[in-house]
């Protein structure tokens, strides 16, 4: 068997390595990705094995990283660009939104820009300002971009390679506080489609929908709720653009209740879109309004307060209680 | 095309004029202001005289000279027709290149077919030289598409509206060229206003660090809408290259021979692995920024008149006539060809079909996207709901 247990970070590293071996056009680029192997060591050892020409240490200029990645993609390469931390993506936001997202459409399909942008995102590691943000809704809102986030090692391994194979730009959100969580990776498995949601735990009373770092929290909440005699289903969305509403709809039609959980601010967030669409699709199946649990409409707080800001077991279970009380 | 000056205009200038006076004072203090004219490579004077330059020799054949004249004439005529079409309501907007023909034709004629061009949105002359059908340039200005040509069929990327973005695409593309071991070059066109953008500075950094075969061709046409070049830089733009570690040169942007020679040298340099170079073509936008603009609000007639005396086409025509390199038959033939081009463009624009409604949903993604598919289907159903009534 090809299945081995490895941390999510290692799975990403192995995935990048495999993609580079399979396709000489795949490049890795970003700040500190070469000798250091990235600040989280996701690209560890790649430059040693693939050379400076394919694992490119860049100047400290995010717009430059994405802008040149676009040019490299136009030349036929498949760049995987690392943005060091979530809060540093904004200098590149213009290139991503005005250029990368639109170029295929503007060229009426005549050019492709298969750029993957890796962003270690979200909180929970006690970092300083700008190192713990969840900007996924800002990207999912933009037509032309696809946004995904793995929640475990296996998905990290497979989704990264699928993102690189995609001819579309993919923003790949890596849940940094789960980097060190170990999980099974079957390198010989046949993975499901990149944008398909996964039912991570079966249940009948209520659906918890999450992605990235919150999947683990929701699974823990489901375990705790089971002790109280409640059967929660957990859906790992895996993709925030597009969102697999069909899988979610099936779950909600079964359970009649939905709580969406993410770290990003609730206001105008991914959960808002999910609540609206599931309400449209499942209005007659719903026993309660779709509830959302997430961050506040406030800047991400200093590290000593992030446990209050981030949805934990209690806040998830409180929402479950409220939904079940209808 | 340009509205003539009025008393009201000079009042405007006075009331908003502290910047003008202050900048004049600054000019005196600063030896190398952004708008001074030092070290300008020139091979053809405004009087139509050939002059030598120690670094940039060029010896075009009479046929090549006539070709440059034809290119500039046709481009100017095309541009004038597009401006007229905008005035007639056929185009939503037009960005005229009037006055910049030499910078564009000269630089573009220095390129090989396998070189790649990343333009901004005013490079109609460059597009012409690259073989893009001029009618294709009008689609985005008419509002039927955001591009209008296949970038790879002429190695001429789509126009880029956001200022300076394309300089990074050019640099990345050039990095790819170098990785491929190819010996082609990449040219990024941009303007004096774009030189203030962070992306251009980042493009300079990346190009220098990776020794990318890219030529940065800045058409300093003196005005970024209403902001003068001295609001973009306190040193001549070409001198900025030195700080990034590659050479910069200022060329007379109204001298097609100098633009050709200098770009040729820059492109050869890039091809031979010596890295990037910045060419600043010192020129003048004789018309408005776009047809939405009113230059009488911010610049003086005398300024335009001074630049008209340096007209890029006139000086080449003077040379051709003086040296008897073009006879009346040739000049007439170019005029006729210009008129024919204008008619072709006019007809093409007026008969340009609107895109199909469902084109909104096309090419948003290469691999498809569930939400786009869903919205496409919903909207198709909505549109179809009108059909039975119409059929009745």
Contact criterion met (CB < 8 Å) for A242 and B158:
no
Report the pLDDT averaged over residues A9-38. Answer: 98
Nearest to A72 among B167, B176, B362 (CB): B176
Q: What CA–CA distance (Å, rounded) separates A175 from A148? A: 11
Q: Which of B139, B160, B165, B175 to mutate to test the interface with A (most CBs of A within 10 A)?
A: B175
Under the banding of pLDDT at 50, 70 and 90, the label for residue B5 is: very low
Q: Which residues are bridge partners to A171 per DSSP?
A: A117, A147
Q: Which two tokens stand for residue B241?
A: 């290259």
* CATH number (domain holding residue A286): 3.40.50.920
Residues A175 and A206 in one domain: no
Residues of A within 8 A of B152 (CB-CB) are 110-111
Residues of A within 8 A of B150 (CB-CB) are 107, 110
pLDDT for B36 equals 52
Q: What CA–CA distance (Å, rounded) separates B345 from A251? A: 58
Residues A122 and A247 in one domain: no
pLDDT for B20 equals 41
Residues A179 and A119 in one domain: yes
Under the banding of pLDDT at 50, 70 and 90, the label for residue B352 is: very high
Cite the beta strand spans of chain B per DSSP E.
40-41, 116-118, 186-191, 214-220, 223-224, 227-228, 248-252, 277-282
What is chain B's mean pLDDT, rounded? 91
Instruction: Name the minimum distance, in Å, from the CA of A321 to any CA of chain B.
Output: 32
How distant is the alpha carbon of residue B156 from its chain centre? 12
Read off the pLDDT of residues B152-192 as tens digits, 9 standing for 90 and up.
999 999 999 999 999 999 999 999 999 999 999 999 999 99
Under the banding of pLDDT at 50, 70 and 90, the label for residue A216 is: very high
Contact criterion met (CB < 8 Å) for A105 and B209:
no
Q: Angle A212-A216-A222 (CA atoms, 0-180°, nearest 5)?
A: 130
Of the candidates B330, B307, B283, the residue with the CA atom closest to the CA atom of residue B69: B330
Read off the pLDDT of residues A74-117 as tens digits, 9 standing for 90 and up.
999 999 999 999 999 999 999 999 999 999 999 999 999 999 99
Q: What CA–CA distance (Å, rounded) separates B211 from B176? A: 11
pLDDT for B360 equals 96
Contact criterion met (CB < 8 Å) for B168 and A63:
yes
Q: Cis peptide before A242, with omega less than 30 degrees from 0?
A: yes
Question: Number of structural domains, chain A?
Answer: 2
Residues A207 and A318 in one domain: yes
Report the pLDDT averaged over residues B92-108. Answer: 97
Q: What CA–CA distance (Å, rounded) separates A57 from A65? A: 10
User: Which residue of the set A104, A131, A195, A262 is catalytic?
Assistant: A131
Q: What CA–CA distance (Å, rounded) separates A249 from B240? A: 58
Q: What CA–CA distance (Å, rounded) separates B27 from B365? A: 51
Q: Which residue of A has its CA nearest to B182?
A: A75
User: Which residue of the set B285, B299, B304, B315 is catalytic?
Assistant: B285
Residues A281 and A317 in one domain: yes
Please say if the pLDDT value at position B194 is more than 50.
yes
Does the annotation count B300 as an active-site position?
no
| Pair B14, B301: CB distance under 8 Å | no
Please say if the pLDDT value at position B29 is more than 50.
no
Does the annotation count B285 as an active-site position?
yes
* Domain range enclosing A265: 198-325
Question: Is A193 a member of any domain?
Answer: no
Please say if the pLDDT value at position B18 is more than 90.
no
Last residue of a domain, one of A121, A152, A185: A185
Q: Which two tokens stand for residue B263?
A: 């770009």
Please say if the pLDDT value at position A46 is more than 90.
yes
Residues A35 and A177 in one domain: yes
Q: What CA–CA distance (Å, rounded) separates A145 from A173? A: 13
pLDDT for B39 equals 80
A91 in B contact zone (CB under 8 Å): yes
Residues A168 and A205 in one domain: no
Under the banding of pLDDT at 50, 70 and 90, the label for residue A2 is: confident
Residues A17 and A97 in one domain: yes
pLDDT for B34 equals 53
Contact criterion met (CB < 8 Å) for B206 and A111:
no
pLDDT for B19 equals 39
Please say if the pLDDT value at position B14 is more than 70.
no
Question: Is A137 a member of any domain?
Answer: yes
What is chain A's mean pLDDT, rounded? 97
A57 in B contact zone (CB under 8 Å): no
Report the pLDDT averaged over residues B128-142. Answer: 97
pLDDT for B228 equals 92
Please say if the pLDDT value at position B105 is more than 70.
yes
Residues of B within 8 A of A195 (CB-CB) are 370
Please state, for a pLDDT cut of 70, what percent of chain A lies above it: 100
Q: Which of A28, A60, A67 to mutate to test the interface with B (most CBs of B within 10 A)?
A: A67
Read off the pLDDT of residues B40-70 as tens digits, 9 standing for 90 and up.
999 999 999 999 999 999 999 999 999 999 9
Task: Name the pairing type of β-strands A232-236 and A206-210.
Answer: parallel
Read off the pLDDT of residues B228-245 as tens digits, 9 standing for 90 and up.
999 999 999 999 999 999
Predicted-assembly ipTM surpassing the 0.85 threshold:
yes
A166 in B contact zone (CB under 8 Å): yes
| Tally of CA atoms within 13 A in the half-sphere of B272 that contains its CB | 8
Please say if the pLDDT value at position B285 is more than 90.
yes
B205 in A contact zone (CB under 8 Å): yes
Contact criterion met (CB < 8 Å) for A64 and B160:
no
Report the pLDDT averaged over residues B191-203. Answer: 97
Please state, for a pLDDT cut of 90, what percent of chain A lies above it: 99
Last residue of a domain, one of A137, A152, A185: A185
Sheet holding A198-201, edge to edge: A198-201, A232-236, A206-210, A258-265, A291-295
pLDDT for B390 equals 55
Residues A176 and A292 in one domain: no
Q: Which residues contact A88 (CB under 8 A, 6 or more apart)?
A: A62, A130
- The predicted model scores a pTM of 0.93
B180 in A contact zone (CB under 8 Å): yes
A60 in B contact zone (CB under 8 Å): no
SS (H, E, C) B326-392: CCHHHHHHHHHHHHHHHHHHHHHHHCCCCCCHHHHHCCCCCCCCHHHHHHHHHHHHHHHCCHHHHHC
């Amino acid at each position: 068997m090809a299945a081995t247990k490895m941390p999510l970070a290692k799975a990403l590293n192995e995935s990048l390595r495999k993609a580079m071996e399979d396709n000489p056009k795949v490049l890795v680029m970003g700040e500190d990705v070469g000798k250091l192997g990235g600040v989280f060591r996701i690209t560890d050892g790649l430059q040693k094995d693939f050379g400076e020409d394919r694992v490119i240490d860049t100047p400290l200029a995010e717009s430059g990283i994405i802008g040149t990645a676009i040019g490299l993609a136009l030349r036929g390469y498949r760049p995987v660009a690392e943005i060091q931390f979530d809060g540093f993506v904004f200098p590149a936001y213009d290139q991503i939104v005005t250029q990368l997202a639109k170029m295929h459409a503007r060229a009426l399909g005549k050019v492709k820009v298969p750029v993957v942008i890796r962003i270690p995102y979200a909180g929970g590691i006690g970092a300083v300002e700008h190192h713990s943000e969840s900007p996924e809704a800002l990207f999912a809102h933009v037509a032309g971009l696809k946004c995904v986030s793995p929640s475990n090692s296996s998905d990290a391994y497979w989704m990264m390679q699928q993102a690189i194979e995609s001819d579309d730009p993919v923003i790949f959100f890596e849940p940094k506080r789960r980097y060190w969580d170990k999980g099974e990776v079957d390198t010989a498995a046949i993975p499901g489609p990149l944008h398909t949601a996964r039912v991570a735990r079966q249940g009948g009373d209520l659906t918890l929908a999450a992605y990235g770092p919150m999947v683990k929290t929701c699974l823990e909440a489901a375990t705790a709720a089971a002790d109280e005699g409640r059967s929660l289903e957990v859906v790992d969305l895996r993709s925030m653009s597009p969102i697999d509403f069909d899988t979610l709809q099936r779950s909600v039609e079964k359970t009649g209740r939905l709580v969406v959980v993410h770290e990003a601010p609730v206001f105008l967030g991914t959960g808002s879109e999910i609540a609206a669409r599931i309400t449209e699709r499942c209005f007659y199946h719903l026993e309660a309004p779709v509830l959302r649990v997430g961050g506040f409409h406030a800047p991400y707080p200093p590290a000593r307060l992030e446990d209050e800001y981030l949805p934990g077991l209690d806040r998830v279970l409180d929402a479950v209680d409220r939904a079940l009380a209808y | 095309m340009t509205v003539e000056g009025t008393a009201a205009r000079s009042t405007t200038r006075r009331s908003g004029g502290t910047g003008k006076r202050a900048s004049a004072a600054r000019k005196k203090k600063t030896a190398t202001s952004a708008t001074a004219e030092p070290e300008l490579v020139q091979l053809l004077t405004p009087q139509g005289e050939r002059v030598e330059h120690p670094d940039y020799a060029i010896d075009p054949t009479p046929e090549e000279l006539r070709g440059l004249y034809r290119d500039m004439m046709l481009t100017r005529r095309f541009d004038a027709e597009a401006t007229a079409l905008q005035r007639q309501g056929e185009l939503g907007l037009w960005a005229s290149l009037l006055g910049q023909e030499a910078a564009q034709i000269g630089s573009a004629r220095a390129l090989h077919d396998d070189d790649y061009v990343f333009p901004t949105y005013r490079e109609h002359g460059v597009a012409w030289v690259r073989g893009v059908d001029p009618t294709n340039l009008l689609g985005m200005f008419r509002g039927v598409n955001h591009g209008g040509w296949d970038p790879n069929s002429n190695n001429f990327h789509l126009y880029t509206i956001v200022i300076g973005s394309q300089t990074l695409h050019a640099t990345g593309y050039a990095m790819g060229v170098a990785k491929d071991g190819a010996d082609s070059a990449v040219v990024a066109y941009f303007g004096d206003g774009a030189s203030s953008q962070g992306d251009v500075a980042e493009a300079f950094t990346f190009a220098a660090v990776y020794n990318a075969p890219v030529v940065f061709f800045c058409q300093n046409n003196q005005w970024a809408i209403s902001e003068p070049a001295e609001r973009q830089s306190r040193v001549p733009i070409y001198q900025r290259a030195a700080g990034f570690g590659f050479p910069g040169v200022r060329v007379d942007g109204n001298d097609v021979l100098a633009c050709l020679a200098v770009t040729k040298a820059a492109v050869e340099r890039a091809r031979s692995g010596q890295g990037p170079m910045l060419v600043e073509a010192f020129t003048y936008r004789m018309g408005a920024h776009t047809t939405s603009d009113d230059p009488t609000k911010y610049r003086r007639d005398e300024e335009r008149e001074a630049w008209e005396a340096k007209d890029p086409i006139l000086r080449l025509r003077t040379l051709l006539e003086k040296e008897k390199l073009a006879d009346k038959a040739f000049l007439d033939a170019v005029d006729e060809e210009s008129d024919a081009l204008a008619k072709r463009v006019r007809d093409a624009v007026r008969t340009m079909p609107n895109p199909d409604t469902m084109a909104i949903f096309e090419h948003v993604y290469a691999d498809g996207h569930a939400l786009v598919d869903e919205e496409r289907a919903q909207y198709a159903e909505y549109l179809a709901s009108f059909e039975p009534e119409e059929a009745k």
